[in-house]
Amino acid sequence: MLSRSLIWRSLDEFFLCPKYSPTYFRYFGGLSFKMADGGRQMRRFSQTNTSNDGSFDQTWVEHEFMLRGNFVRAANSIEFTQDHSGIPSDADLSHLERRLGHLFTDRALLVLALTHRSAASPNSRVLSWVGDAALQLAITEQLAGVYGCLTPGDLTVMRSELASRENCTQNALFLGLAEMMIIGKSVRVASGKPSDSMLAETFEAVLGAVYVDGGLNAVRKAYGQNFPLPTLDSLQD
């Protein structure tokens, strides 16, 4: 099992971006961040992540702050192609917020979640990765709370079905994301509309934006109020 310090060091190296370093890497689909010289600042930071008794301390809050800060910087640094499909109106974004039951502190995060990589850089890809994890946990909690008497194997099969690409695509359509996605000319010329995989990824990205902006409780609310857990019979069909 990985030690806590090793896990946190990996997260530090992924998200922490101090100043004054000559080393750069491309992240968030195109946004440049600075890395600590030789990783020394990261290692010093990671050594403070646990208290003497091994429990996590206030650095949980510090990592949450860094996570949100990095995504907000990405969201406010989007460079759209000249031929993108257009940014949703404030009215459309407000309507989506009402559907999600979450009012964004920084609505640019929601725009980032709706931005396909064909239309801009940075884009929604990393938010989708975060949203996939949040979705998995929200579904896990639903299933364990209602059907916790079943075996872990059965619950895993149900979770895989609920988090499948097909289900995420249908969820995206239910929320009206197909009409709000920001896509590039290459997609519009090829098919005229987002593919199923693009819709599924955008649904995950929207949940990722909700998580970054409001935490897991906001994801629970957004997912639970729109997609109540199906009956056991329908899950097992």
Instruction: Enumerate the active-site residues.
Output: 132, 204
Contact 168, 203 (CB under 8 A): yes
For 45, phi then psi, to 5°, come to: -65, -45
Torsion, Cα 12 216 125 1, to 10 degrees, reads: 50
C-alpha to C-alpha distance for 192 and 161, rounded to whole angstroms? 28
CB 205 within 8 A of CB 131: yes
Give the separation between CA 79 and CA 81, rounded to whole angstroms: 7
